[in-house]
Structure 1
């Protein structure tokens, strides 16, 4: 009997050990699965540099709010549709091609004063904001969702391409964005080959009571330079993106080509046409004054916008040569 009892005891101990081992293996397996899940999530984490320093996001965002047109342009070229856009309460201000690519979205108001309430209602997991317009409300935006601050307003052409690359990183579209930027460079080179080098081209926004020239340091000036041409110097050392000038000052710069983007129908250039000084401009005398879409040239900015601007210049130069 003693031997049988010992055998039964040993079997009970063995079963206990087996149960313990199985339980431990289950715990190890659960922990291993958890670790693998964390690692999988970490593989989606991205850290980039923005206007505030380093910006990190733990996963690929699915519900994005974009507070500037250039950010929407960047999202569109990699096939992403934001759930909310600061469109100035006017969808027509978006580049038509961009508007078609992004499809339906919710307007969050103006770029200068987007509605925090509407943004919050969309439950975004990423907000792309402009450092110039939105830094003052960064804290409120960041409480709603992780907010990255990039340059858009008063950005240069180079700034825009850099911002597009950053956006590609944070939305999980690095390869697609790099491919699109490469295609953009190729297309701009092809457009440049169709244009005469070193010509002076001045773009200006024409309002009802003022003309604002966009300098060589503006976005438009950067696109013009990328196409192998120049923007006239304004005669000031504090070069800014745009500056208001008089007719006399325009005559002083005397550009070879003048591209006007009117914001209103009866813009100031229409009024200036009655002035003798207007007739002195070489662009006027040589019939090289052209109207372009001021919204695309001044507001939109972006990869697609720049390509539209290049097409405008090819059209203008072709008309001038014929």
Structure 2
């Protein structure tokens, strides 16, 4: 009888061990199935994504590190997201330093209007960011070099620039960082908005003097929309284009209360100052003509530039020292 009971106990123990072994093998088999095949990078595969932009869709793999920026606002966006471009299109050597406030290491890749495809290719970028206005015609050539996204910057509004920043973040796989930076940006803008008196009915005009005319920025320009958002009204309304060339006679008709005058061709300005019509403009009469940095107000764009423009405008118009 004891022998029979002993055999039963032994059989039960063997069955338990066999079951445990089966479970263990099953678990190991599942773990092996989760491993990528030889030569396959699971991280890179998981990070492949399609980024929509102004000229279509572009597939991007991983987190781009070698980025070429063909417009200043894209440099601003990359910098705010912790990425230093390896290549930048520029006109002047000090443009980038003026934009972000410090010197950085990068390779110039020609001008924004005519970037060099050869130099861009030599940098072996993993992402290129181009401007819709300037670079739509070379988009296919850029795509042959590296994944390229085309966004709005030149002649774009403030809101369109924010949208471009969000797309850059998506391309870099840095959406969380972008959300945090946008929250900070909105807080900064809101603080300056508090300093704009609700009862101030003055309107402003930003003008850049050319050789033969004044290029005025209306309510649908980057700076125009930005200032309107904080309560500073633009003198040029109901104009579809962001900028418009106007004569002195037209400027008298717009009759701005305040003029933000970007540095440019002084010859025409000096000529206008000799004309009695110039002195009939309200801003001139009230000594509300303020010189501002042309690069900051008309060329850079981007989050940091927007914050600096708002700060300067508010200080010029509502400084306690005035």
Structural RMSD (CA): 2.4
Matched, 1:249 2:266: no
Secondary structure in 1 matching 2:307: helix
Task: Give the superposition deviation at 1:282.
Answer: 0.7
Task: Give the superposition deviation at 1:169.
Answer: 1.4
Write the distance in 1 (CA, Å) between the matches of 2:283 and 2:230. Answer: 19
Alignment of 1:152-231 (within 5 A): 152-197=153-198, 198-231=201-234
Write the distance in 1 (CA, Å) between the matches of 2:169 and 2:99. Answer: 19
Task: Give the superposition deviation at 1:58.
Answer: 1.3
Write the distance in 1 (CA, Å) between the matches of 2:97 and 2:187. Answer: 21
Secondary structure in 1 matching 2:205: strand
Aligned partners of 2:65 and 2:83 also within 8 Å: no
Write the distance in 2 (CA, Å) between the matches of 1:151 and 1:170. Answer: 15
Alignment deviations for residues 250-275 of structure 1 (CA, whole Å, 9 cap, x no partner): 111111111010224x2422321111
Matched, 1:40 2:49: no
Task: Give the superposition deviation at 1:91.
Answer: 2.5
Alignment deviations for residues 45-81 of structure 1 (CA, whole Å, 9 cap, x no partner): 2323200232320111110000000100001111110
Aligned partners of 1:201 and 1:229 also within 8 Å: yes
Task: Give the superposition deviation at 1:295.
Answer: 1.0
Task: Give the superposition deviation at 1:232.
Answer: 1.5
* Structure 2 spans left out of the alignment, 5+ residues: 1-27
What is residue 7 of structure 1 aligned with on the other side?
Answer: none
Aligned in 2, Cα 1:320/1:294: closer, same or farther, shift over 3 Å?
Answer: farther
Aligned in 2, Cα 1:65/1:123: closer, same or farther, shift over 3 Å?
Answer: same
Runs of 4+ in 1 over 3 A off after TM superposition: 28-31, 35-39
What is residue 287 of structure 2 aligned with on the other side?
Answer: 287
* Structure 1 spans left out of the alignment, 5+ residues: 1-24
Aligned in 2, Cα 1:196/1:230: closer, same or farther, shift over 3 Å?
Answer: same
Task: Give the superposition deviation at 1:284.
Answer: 0.7
Task: Give the superposition deviation at 1:44.
Answer: 2.1
* Number of equivalenced pairs: 293
Aligned in 2, Cα 1:306/1:267: closer, same or farther, shift over 3 Å?
Answer: farther
Task: Give the superposition deviation at 1:99.
Answer: 5.2
What is residue 312 of structure 1 aligned with on the other side?
Answer: 312
What is residue 277 of structure 2 aligned with on the other side?
Answer: 277
Aligned equivalent of 2:65, options 34, 53, 62: 62
Aligned partners of 2:261 and 2:290 also within 8 Å: yes
TM-score relative to the length of structure 1: 0.85
What is residue 82 of structure 1 aligned with on the other side?
Answer: 85
Alignment deviations for residues 128-175 of structure 1 (CA, whole Å, 9 cap, x no partner): 001111111111111010110111111110000010011111112211
Write the distance in 1 (CA, Å) between the matches of 2:233 and 2:69. Answer: 32
Aligned in 2, Cα 1:184/1:56: closer, same or farther, shift over 3 Å?
Answer: same
Query: Bigger shift: 90-99 or 301-310?
Result: 90-99
Aligned in 2, Cα 1:97/1:137: closer, same or farther, shift over 3 Å?
Answer: closer
Aligned partners of 1:91 and 1:99 also within 8 Å: no
Aligned in 2, Cα 1:95/1:219: closer, same or farther, shift over 3 Å?
Answer: farther
Secondary structure in 2 matching 1:276: coil
What is residue 149 of structure 1 aligned with on the other side?
Answer: 150
